[in-house]
Chain A
């Protein structure tokens, strides 16, 4: 018997896209598809399919095993816990209109780690078997508790590879916090919604606070080498900033990576930004405009390379199976295994979005706590569903090898996980994104090809990214 493990997609610009279960692809014409379906493949067709690893014959053990090997590289096998999102406090000194965790007031008691919670977190760190650790401090505003940040960092000295990311609104820069920032293993992540006006409208409300934030950001950019600071914009699709103004606000700060996110349908946003449940074509069009403008700017000024972070992640997932470890897009998407979120009260969640849902009173997706552990039935129940492997729509989708599964997102938007895949925002978003990426993969535009190469971290710009068989 001969099997062709191919999925097809009629792509708007590239022709018929054929994607192997292992993610290898080529573009072709409808007439090739007809030849295959009608059993009229030419010698040349068969030779091509064989060379590319698409022709699996019972008597060819080598090709079958090579295919299975490639397939296995698409399946996430999580290692031991080495990535923790810690929320030492839920208190915050800002009140953003779309706050995802419904933050607590600055003076409110009971929203910080207790002594016992800190001790339990440190105990958990001591138990980790690996040599690598990545810790992201979230909030609230974690810099309100430098003492807790310091205690955690001190406990991680034993790890060979350490990375601490402090997610902060940069409203206040105390000497205490600067001392922590100065560590080479500490990285700073902040929110920058575009130009000062947009940022003020979304976040700081008054211009004095905006100026304070921008002054702090500028001083840190001057103080540290490139790569130390990253920033994320949250975009209101109803009122997106001017594309060049947004890119300029990042580029002038030396921030080359822009993670373009629409308002997340979480926390306060569920009430104040109801439209954020489904993204409409105007958001998608805005997204494409930004990426295309980045491509133009990279081509015009080759001294620096801007990128849209999520575009790059998805692009690399197409070509470099197994290399990306972005926990929001993987398959299966193991919950509570290699990364967890520890909230201000010691409760453990599988993802930050799950924490937000609990906080908003939608559903409690906690899987345990730092005192008693989290490897119980709640976690197993989530993991039973956290895959796109057996979804009937995904099984037919050409992009399944590159895609992931986010059951928490489904629950957040629809309150259930069995909505037909193609009716979900997650699916629509990724179909759009992968269609867009393949449009660029098969583009003749030298500027597009140049940017793709840089985003894939290639030494040079290849002649072609995608092959075609007619």
Chain B
């Protein structure tokens, strides 16, 4: 696992964003922190914001990272790791839904860091796709959209992918979202079932599905780019073909439907036995759903499905979705031909399950 947060000591008074430079040839940019000293377990840097010493990772692995130094809590957050395609910024931990399987259980308090995150985005590597997540980012919709617009205006090479429950889009947002800048923004939006009771139960909020559909009206009118997401659960697995049919009829404006296997973290950890659908035993509802998507020409993909667990005709849908920093493989995966295309397992996936499931291809 790649650590995203490291212990830091700094003389600064306030948090600041900087880009770490360890090569002697680079530096000189006011945004860069220059390496002063390093050894096998850490490094010290000088930045405009202050001096700081970071522990736990050799300097060579930090080169180019855009980081947030937080002197008071003594943490350094690697906001945008150099060379990683999986950088995601957490803009808030508050949420107005409470999904039964939430991988990142929400908190009541909000720490507004939009200005710092904006600075970080402006320092991103060329052609970055930056993820935005929460909590629910659109609880601070105006702050969020303002940050996105500023960054995209400044940096024509950057794209955003925002995870949102789409409970807060209003008709008045249409004009704003029609700004051509938003062609570089895609919205990852969950829909678990088209059965109102079931969807609302899964997300822990009454009226959520109706509100979601109202938001879709806004997003269609705005020409928004949407990735529809469905986490697979024991409760919605048999509804998948119905959901697929609905998508092919009424949600044709989405770019892709991502069908996601459950992540063993957050709330799902202690509800694992109840929530986890083991698709090894019966792939049929998933196959049926994918057949409907293919038949009607709507793109679909499988997230968090190890390739050996997917019947051959459907393997093309199983993409390497798990982010690099939290991905692992079982020992038996070593000999698999398809390992490089495979998503593997989450770092926190039960080791015994992973070991039992793997059938190297």
Contact = CB atoms under 8 A, between A and B. Distances in A.
Nearest to A322: B297
B245 interface: yes
Interface stretch (A102-110, A292-300, A459-467): A459-467
A51 B220 contact: no
A62 B291 contact: no
A66 B216 contact: yes
B224 to A, nearest CB: 12
Majority DSSP secondary structure for residues of A touching B: loop
Contacts, number: 67
B69 interface: no
A319 interface: yes
A238 interface: no
A19 B347 CA distance: 49
Given A53-B250, A66-B216, A459 B288 contact: no
A321 B290 contact: no
Interface in B274-304: 287-288, 290-292, 294-297
Contact of B295 (A52, A66, A319): A319
A460 B291 contact: yes
Contact of B194 (A51, A61, A66, A463): A51
Contact of A323 (B245, B297, B313): B297
B316 interface: yes
A465 B295 contact: yes
A458 to B, nearest CB: 5
A382 interface: no
Contact of A456 (B213, B245, B295, B313): B295
B313 A463 contact: no
A24 interface: yes
A309 B28 CA distance: 63
A458 B246 contact: no
B250 A63 contact: yes
A226 interface: no
A65 B250 CA distance: 9
Contact of A463 (B214, B288, B296, B314): B288
A332 B20 CA distance: 56
B30 interface: no
Given A459-B313, A462-B291, A463-B291, A61 B297 contact: no
B221 A65 contact: yes
Given A66-B251, A66-B252, A459-B314, A51 B246 contact: yes
B336 interface: no
A228 B356 CA distance: 46
A248 to B, nearest CB: 30
A51 B242 CA distance: 9
B114 interface: no
Nearest to A24: B249
B267 interface: no
Interface in B214-254: 214, 216-217, 220-221, 242, 245-246, 249-253
Contact of A319 (B213, B287, B296): B296
B216 A62 contact: yes
A66 B295 CA distance: 19
Nearest to A22: B252
Interface string A446-470: 0000000000101110110101000
A148 B46 CA distance: 66
Interface string A11-45: 00000000000001000000000000000000000
B249 A53 contact: yes
Contacts of A214: none
A62 B217 contact: yes
A320 interface: yes
A61 B295 contact: no
Interface in B189-217: 194, 213-214, 216-217
Contacts of A320: 296-297
A73 interface: yes
A23 to B, nearest CB: 10
A396 to B, nearest CB: 23
Contacts of A414: none
Given A51-B249, A319-B297, A323-B297, A66 B220 contact: yes
Nearest to B317: A459
8 contacts: A65-B221, A66-B220, A319-B296, A321-B297, A459-B290, A459-B294, A460-B314, A463-B288
Interface of B: 194, 213-214, 216-217, 220-221, 242, 245-246, 249-253, 287-288, 290-292, 294-297, 313-314, 316-317
- Which 3 A/B pairs are nearest by Cβ-Cβ distance? A320-B297, A462-B291, A61-B217
